[in-house]
Amino acid sequence: MKSRIDAILQKSQAEYLDSILPPRDPLLQKMERYAEEHGHPIADPEVAQLMRLLVRVSSPTRVLEIGTNIGYSVIVMGRECGPDARIETIEIDPGTLDSARSFVREAELSAQVVFHEGAALEVIPRLSGPFDFVFIDCVKTEYGDYLDLVLPLLTPGALIFCDNLLWKGQIADGPRSERDVASTAALAAFNQRMTTDPRLLTTILPVGDGVGISVFG
C-alpha cells in the first residue's frame, strides 16, 4: 500500500488536469455540446485523450468498438488511423446510430468505418476479425461476455481499452442504488478477470470513470 494513495485522486488535481487538456477540434466540441444537451454518454475528454494516444502509438488497422453512441470515440480513434484502417462499431439504438453516421460523415475520416446495428452479443459472433484494438464501452453487465467473444478474434499484441471500470467509485465502495447492484458486481468480477488472466497484461487507471488498458498475448 502506498503511503499517499490519495496523492493524485483529489478534486483539485483532477480540475488542474482538466484545465490543461488540449482543446478539441470544432466537430468534437459540437458533439460534446450535443451529447450534453441530449444526455448521450460519450467518453470523457481525458479518456478520449488517452485513447488518442494509444491508437497513435499502436497504429491499429482493425479496430472494434462495442458501444458507438453518437460516434465521438469513432472520430477520436479515426483521426489517429490511416486509410488502411477499418473501424467496426456496434450500436443497438437506430436513432443514435443515425446521429453517429451523420457526425462520422462530417469528420471525413480517411479510415473506413463500418456501423453494425444491433445488440453487441448478437453482432460480435458474426464478425470475423481479426482485431488489433478493441474499445469496450457498452452494457456493464455484459463486459465479461464481450471479452469471451472478442478474445478469439484478437491478434497477438492487440490492445483492449475499457471504460467505466471504477463505476463512479462503486467498485471500491459498493453500489449506491439497487439499480447499480448487478453492474457493480459484474464490473468488479471483470476487473478481477482482466488483472489475473494470464493471456492479458492489464492496468486500470483512475482516468475519467476508470479505464482499463490490456495487451493480449
The site that binds ligand SAM (CB under 6 A) totals a number of residues, namely 17
Tell me: does residue 63 bind ligand SAM (CB under 6 A).
Answer: no
Closest CA relative to residue 66, chosen from 140, 171, 14, 154: 140
CA-to-CA dists, residue 142 to 83, 104, 117, 186, angstroms:
32, 26, 17, 8
Binding mask 126-145 for ligand SAM (x = CB under 6 A): -----------xxx------
Task: Work out how close the CB of 126 gets to ligand SAM at its nearest, in angstroms, rounded to a whole number.
Answer: 13
- Which amino acid is residue 15, in one-letter code? E
Euclidean distance between CA atoms 23 and 189, whole angstroms: 36
Using the minimum distance from each CB to ligand SAM, give the nearer residue, 106 or 217.
106
Taking CA atoms, 22 is separated from 9, 49, 101, 149, 162, in Å, by 21, 8, 25, 35, 22
Query: Is 175 a binder of ligand SAM (CB under 6 A)?
Result: no
x/- letters, 94..113, toward ligand SAM (CB under 6 A): --x-----------------
Contact 177, 168 (CB under 8 A): no
Closest separation in Å from C-beta 111 to ligand SAM: 16
Residue 43, interface with ligand SAM (CB under 6 A)? yes
Q: Which of 73, 183, 191, 214 binds ligand SAM (CB under 6 A)?
A: 73
Grid cell 499502436 — which residue?
A: 58
For ligand SAM, the binding residues (CB under 6 A) are: 41-43, 67, 69, 72-73, 90-93, 96, 119-120, 137-139
